[in-house]
Chain A
Amino acid sequence: QITLKESGPTLVKPTQTLTLTCTFSGFSLSTSGVGVGWIRQPPGKALEWLALIYWDDDKRYSPSLKSRLTITKDTSKNQVVLTMTNMDPVDTATYYCAHRVTTGGFDCWGQGTLVTVSS
């Protein structure tokens, strides 16, 4: 059974850097074809794809946020970390991590973590 869980601060100040950790179980991020992605959703709005890291350390980012995002993995700890710099109130959202299957799509999601950006 695959599970994922996001952790990190619930409140950050404008201009600060957000660091979120996705801790997962039930799969290995060293298995060919596997990926872990981050997706966010502002309150009442649509899903927004942010970043994805593959088993071979290939990394993909949303072009509009690429300068602010870094995604890394620690295979031994079964964790994926997303950092987002220069946080702004418009970045207030629920942030999800999700498991990407080899056939495409995200088949398992974390519960999400609400991050509020406010001074």
Chain B
Amino acid sequence: DIQMTQSPSTLSASVGDRVTITCRASQSISIWLAWYRQKPGKAPELLIYQASALQGGVPSRFSGSGSGTEFTLTISSLQPDDFATYYCQHYHSSPYTFGRGTNLEIK
């Protein structure tokens, strides 16, 4: 099974900051990676698919990059709505595991 390791587990930042979250796969997954944002008490929302493609309706301040085993999610200018938990998920081969999440909190 492919393991997904996210870092950091917690990130403190301020509105307007640029932040980056990293996700590493235990083996190559090509570009088969998605990123989600989950606000408290809500279902996750798809932000990025195929490592770098922006899901429709998602603000352009979100961007994804990477291929193979290392991936990043960047938020260019944090907005109040972005303080949430972020997850990566691979879909290279079953089981389609999620990372353990990054809690983005207000500094």
Known: A105-B49, A107-B46. A46 touches B100 (CB 8 A): yes
Question: In which size bucket is the chain B interface?
Answer: 20 to 34
Tell me which residues across on chain B come within 8 A of A63, comparing CB atoms: 1, 95
Among A60, A101, A104, the residue within 8 A (CB) of B94 is A60
Known: A101-B49, A103-B50, A103-B53. A47 touches B44 (CB 8 A): yes
Is there contact, CB below 8 Å, between A47 and B49? no
Cα distance, A25 to B39, chains bound together (Å):
24
- Would you give the shortest CB distance from B55 to chain A, in whole angstroms? 6
Give 19 new A-B contacts, CB below 8 A, not counting A46-B99, A106-B46.
A46-B87, A46-B98, A46-B100, A46-B101, A47-B44, A47-B89, A49-B89, A49-B96, A60-B96, A63-B95, A96-B43, A103-B49, A103-B50, A105-B34, A105-B55, A106-B34, A109-B43, A109-B44, A111-B43
Spell out A's residues near B (CB within 8 Å). 37, 39, 46-49, 52, 60-63, 96, 98, 101, 103-107, 109-112
A selection of 18 A-B contacts at a CB cut-off of 8 Å is A39-B98, A46-B100, A47-B38, A47-B44, A48-B98, A60-B94, A60-B96, A96-B44, A101-B49, A103-B53, A105-B34, A105-B49, A105-B89, A105-B91, A106-B36, A107-B55, A110-B43, A111-B43
